[in-house]
Structure 1
Amino acid sequence: MTATGKVNLIGAGPGAADLMTLRAARMLQAADAVVYDRLVSDEILELAPQAARMIPVGKAPGHHTVPQERINEILYELACEGLTVARLKGGDPLIFGRGSEEAAYLAERGVAIEYAPGITAAQGMAAATGVPLTHRGLATGVRYVTGHRAADARLDLDWKSLASEDTTLVIYMGAANIAEIALNLMREGLPGSLPVLAIANATTPREARLLSRLDRVGLDMAETPLPAPVLFVVGHVVSLYRAGAPAEAVADMPETIRFAGE
């Protein structure tokens, strides 16, 4: 088949519709078909044209309704129909979104591709909580890592390089493995007292937060589990969570929050 259509790989951002880029919104509104993930909010989906074909392909932990191979095929088939396809992903399609895998599959078959970057979950967390990803005297850099492997394979991260107190570590998709992750980081020298912020559904009305420390976060998450997706921020910047928050913001903090040592 010859693909006369095109596929736009669109980052929907961390959840709130007003955090989409103008390019992302424009591409979505021009779509003939929208292939979207589970984490894309209804508010964002409402921006699609009423006549657009809406195709959900979302994945949940341990439950992939539509395998990645089939998603690739769906995008190609729609392009071969001559359609403008919006491949809509939460966050940014090129940060743990498998967007590059889909792009490679389509490019090999001659499909035209364009990108609309999205605000990734870590940046959404920073805007929602006031916790910076870097801060003079606390963190000179930031690293994004995945806390999950395909098919539940063993985590084989470079723990030694990740265990830096000068770097903010942001862990995506790590809720199921956070106890193991914390243990490996402490084995490589990170102190158990290092603060950790877990945030679920950042920037949405369903947002929930849990404040802990490295040597307790596994236990705290077991006692007070947060709904997926959960992002973990590990590092000294988390100490600014309360210190930098205005009084009215502290008063409005979600009820699900726990503070280290309480």
Structure 2
Amino acid sequence: MDPYLAGLVLAGRRVVVVGGGTVAQRRITGLLTAGADVLVVAPQVTPAVEGMATARELTWEARGYREGDLDGSWYAVTCTDDAQVNAAVAASAERLRVFCVRADDATGGTAVTPAVGHHDGITVGVLAGRRPRRSAAVRTALVEALATGLVDDTAEPVTPGVALVGGGPGDPELITVRGRRLLARADVVVTDRLGPRDLLDHLDPHVEVVDASKIPYGRAMNQARINELLIEHARAGKFVVRLKGGDPYVFGRGFEEALACAEAGVPVTVVPGVTSAFAAPAVADVPVSHRGVAHEIVVVSGHVAPDDPRSLVDWPALGRLRGTIVLLMAVERIGHFASALIDGGRPPDTPVAVVQDGTMRIQRSVRATLATVADVVRDEGISPPAVVVVGPVAGLAEQITGPPAT
């Protein structure tokens, strides 16, 4: 017989979880999110559950189950590796008329845990006749459909305003769930060349796309004009998504746009994105940090040379650092930056990795040292957008890919 699917209001109510393994850990997370007063009864628990107890998110009784543990409870979950204990908990719950989930035998309990997903205040629960993998697959598909806008989760019109959405480093799958959802609801999309352009193909036909690309050392839309466009469209009653590459606030002028909107009285939402400063090196097997190798990460804009009066960077201080330096927009002046770091104290043989078009199908990377990187970039024809990583971590890729070809 099919179970009756209902939502339990457990905030402030006692829930007893018997067992402290990984199954219990998964169930406990959702119970705490629901605000339940959780009591865990188990001789041993996972480190994560112990951490929750230490933080006083729940109560842990470090012992075996005994009769009376369910007194005063509203709900029970039994997930030990002992079938007899689970049966005893279920029998006690039956007598007390407390709904009980039995993890090892769903038919032995009085409740079944659905595959649950959440999206923007919506909770999706799926039961598939004791086929948990099917339940999980359907749940995931529904949540993804809601997140991407394939399923419209509201009949209300979108409030006019602006969303500054970080699109990530370029791969369309690396945009955040929230960013993807807001993009699907846009009336106008103001994008640039570093945004995940493949996502534009999925926009509805009525969506107006404005190209605000800034090509290095080439054509570029004035930032003031971009600000004006965001405000003009929002004031016209449109929901505008400013789709930017990486993260809006990591050398993306996102705060300038947020300020312009705020000063114009236009509502603005900021959606952080995956920054290329960390993502591009990662997909090229370059960790920007590694235990025992780098305890610091500094991200530097390379849009002006070290000796430029507009530069705000303390290059001698960077040269004295021992950790990781990530340079963005640095390809054109890479020789100047390398010289500045060497002059500041960095050894000339410090490893350097340069990743062009990180996460994209045309991604390519080269390895060098501070002494050779300018020549390597020139000889290999590296062009923007590219991320430059300086420091010992840049040489760790050899442990995975082997030494560079000679």
CA RMSD in angstroms comes to 2.0
Is 2:226 the counterpart of 1:68?
Answer: no
In structure 1, list runs of 5 or more residues that go unmatched. 251-257
Distance 1:146 1:15 in 2: 19
| 1:123 counterpart = 2:267 | no
Aligned to 1:6: 161
AA partner of residue 337 (structure 2): I
Q: Give me the whole-angstrom Cα distance separating, in 2, the residues matched to 1:85 and 1:107.
A: 14
2:314 to 158, 161, 171: 158
- For residues 97 and 31 of structure 1, what CA distance do their matches in structure 2 show? 21
* Mapping for residues 179-198 of structure 1, pairs under 5 Å: 179-198=335-354
Q: Which residue of 2 aligns with 1:132?
A: 287
Deviation at 1:124, TM superposition (A): 1.4
Q: How far, CA to CA, are the matches of 1:89 and 1:18 in structure 2?
A: 15
User: Greater shift after overlay, 193-202 or 154-163?
Assistant: 154-163
SS in structure 1 opposite 2:190?
strand
1:141 Cα shift?
Answer: 1.2
The Cα shift of 1:153 comes to 5.3
Q: Separation in 2 of the partners of 1:21 and 1:166?
A: 33
Which of these residues, 187, 195, 201, is aligned with residue 40 of structure 1?
A: 195
TM-score for both structures, normalised by structure 1: 0.88
* Aligned counterpart in structure 2 of residue 79 of structure 1, from 220, 234, 245: 234
Q: Does 1:239 align with 2:239?
A: no
Overall identity of the aligned pairs, in %: 36
In structure 2, distance between residues paired with 1:148 and 1:259: 29
Q: Is the 8 A contact 1:196 1:235 kept in 2?
A: yes
Give the C-alpha shift of residue 154 in structure 1: 5.1
Residue 327 of structure 2 aligns to which amino acid in structure 1? I
Shift of 1:115: 1.2
Contact conserved, 1:193 with 1:213, CA < 8 A, in 2? yes
Higher normalized contact order (CA 8 Å, seq sep 6+, divided by chain length): 1
Distance 1:240 1:191, change over 3 A: same
Distance 1:142 1:65 in 2: 30
* Deviation sequence 1:63-105 (CA, Å, 0-9, x none): 2431111111111100110100000000001101000001111
The 3-state SS of whatever aligns with 1:40 is: coil
* 8 Å CA contact 2:320, 2:344 repeated in 1: no
Match of 1:207 in 2: 363
Give 1:255's aligned residue: none
Q: Distance in 2 between matches of 1:69 and 1:149?
A: 20
3-state SS of the aligned residue for 2:396? helix
3-state SS, counterpart of residue 175 of structure 1: coil
Q: Does 1:219 align with 2:375?
A: yes
Question: What's 1:253 paired with?
Answer: none
* 2:323 maps to 1:167: yes
Instruction: Find the aligned partners of 2:308 and 2:237 in 1 and give their Cα distance.
Output: 38
Distance 1:160 1:66 in 2: 34
Tell me the residue number matched to 2:207: 52
In 2, the alpha carbon distance for the partners of 1:223 and 1:140 equals 32
TM-score under structure 2 length normalisation: 0.58
Label 1:208 to 1:154 Cα distance change in 2 as closer, same or farther (>3 A): farther
Per-residue deviation, 1:155:
6.2
User: SS at 1:212's partner residue?
Assistant: strand
Q: Distance in 1 between matches of 2:200 and 2:282?
A: 22
1:106 match: 261
Name stretches of at least 5 consecutive residues in structure 2 with no aligned partner: 1-158
Q: Using the alignment, how far apart are the partners of 1:155 and 1:173 within structure 2? A: 15
Query: CA separation in 2, counterparts of 1:108 and 1:149?
Result: 29
Aligned length: 246
Is the 2:246–2:273 Cα contact (8 Å) retained in structure 1?
Answer: yes
> Which one has the largest radius of gyration?
2
**C-alpha offsets along residues 33-55 of structure 1, whole Å, 9 cap, x if unaligned?**
00000122331222333321111
CA drift of 1:125 comes to 1.8
